[in-house]
Structure 1
Amino acid sequence: MSGGADQSTLLIESQYFPNLSYYKALIEHDILEIEKYEHYQKVSFRNRCYVAGPNGMVLLSVPLTKGKNQRTVMKDVRISYEERWQSLHFKTLVSAYRRSPWFEYYEDDLAGLFEQRHEFLIDWNMACFEWVNKKLGVATPVTFSDTYRATEELPAGTVDARNTIMPGNMAELGSSLPSYTQVFEERTGFMPNLGILDLLFCEGKHSLQLLQG
């Protein structure tokens, strides 16, 4: 599913609180198409994101069941609730960002988000994505793929960004992104291209303007 000939569509995988590169690409296109029929890939941002901690980057990772198998189609990847990972992730965010300028403004609403329970990873990712978009003021229409298509099979106007934003190149991609004041910057130095929550808690309602700059 894609937009008309005069509209640009970004085709990309679902990610957990995507980083700034993802959002920079998103706001440069008219439509976002989420890939549902790819195979899950380990060591990607599909179930993980990075935030800023006092000693450097902190990894938040959503535990999976069958999703650990790379042959599983993304739409079928299930979340494991054997451990209380949502409580741990929220406590980590509170610890990391309670001194940030905007965290208190979003805290109660964020707590409600982490009380949601979704069976499938893609549904949880979308709940987080929609939550952030509402706070940022991003209104880009979102569609989902209805089958897997290779790059050469995509219609004109669709940009294939699948597997282009990965943990291995996040710092390199971050070199072209705006900088801002982070909570622990004096101790750790600036950490580029973290998950979108870092920008949101540090810059609040100014976040989208920074991304557009």
Structure 2
Amino acid sequence: MTATNNSKILLIESQYFPSVYFYKTLIESEILQIERYEHYQKVSFRNRCYVAGPNGVILLSVPLSKGKNQRTVMKDVRISNVENWQALHWKTLTSAYRRSPWFEYFEPELEELYEKRFEFLLDWNLACLEWVNQALGIHPEVRLTDEFRKTYDPATNVSDKRDHMVPGQLPEEAPVYTQVFGERTGFFPNLSILDLLFCEGKRGLELLK
């Protein structure tokens, strides 16, 4: 997708395998601009995502080297790799989604991603973003901010959604589809985009529109 001066830009913080609502918002823009000069905010999607398990929603949280109370600039936030959190996250995903229609299709490449070590949270999130974009078949131009600006001129076509998507406060403007444990738990809206991909595969993009 080639950007023009009139291209719509979505400005948002870096997130770990973002929600379905994030991608529903993203597909309306040609350019995705990731904020990297903000201060890290705890209890956010920056280092967490939510997936569906047999007993309800499961939180996957990336451990950080200075804990969740740090006030570090996002581009400098380091992951704590003292414990093998990636293996634990992958085990959770495998257990939750091995019976989903599309898990085996995505498994090889996603498992390879979870085997790569990352030092910075931003780099890990960008790798997750790139993987999902390819899996969905979308190709927004991805940019990183060069500085922190509190506000943006509306004339620049920037849609500033920084800190608009907060865990537990997402609007339920998201597609409904068959989840693995839906008959037991009921439907959970706006989980990580991984849930939609594992359950619907390439059809996920159609459902986002």
TM-score (norm 1): 0.94
Matched, 1:189 2:182: no
Q: 1:159-203 CA distances to partner (integer Å, 9 max, x unpaired)? A: 110000010302xx1x21110000000010000000000000000
Q: Which runs of 5+ in 1 are unaligned?
A: none
Partner of 2:197: 200
Runs of 4 or more off by more than 6 Å in structure 1?
A: none
Q: Which runs of 5+ in 2 are unaligned?
A: none
Q: Which whole-Å CA distance do the structure 2 matches of 1:121 and 1:127 have between them? A: 10
Any conservation in 2 of the 1:67–1:78 contact (CA below 8 Å)? no
Q: Which whole-Å CA distance do the structure 2 matches of 1:71 and 1:104 have between them? A: 39
Partner of 2:71: 71
- Superposition RMSD in Å: 1.3
Matched, 1:114 2:111: no
Any conservation in 2 of the 1:87–1:114 contact (CA below 8 Å)? yes
Q: How far off is 1:152 after superposition?
A: 4.3
Q: Which has the higher helix share?
A: 1
State the AA in 2 paired with 1:130: E
Partner of 2:95: 95
Partner of 2:40: 40
State the AA in 1 paired with 2:146: D
SS in 2 for 1:193: coil
Query: Percent sequence identity over matched residues?
Result: 64
State the AA in 2 paired with 1:191: F
Q: How far off is 1:7 after superposition?
A: 1.2
Instruction: Tell me how many residue pairs correspond in the alignment.
Output: 207
Counterpart pick for 2:175 among 159, 167, 178: 178
TM-score (norm 2): 0.95
Q: Which whole-Å CA distance do the structure 1 matches of 2:12 and 2:74 have between them? A: 12
Q: Which whole-Å CA distance do the structure 1 matches of 2:152 and 2:92 have between them? A: 42
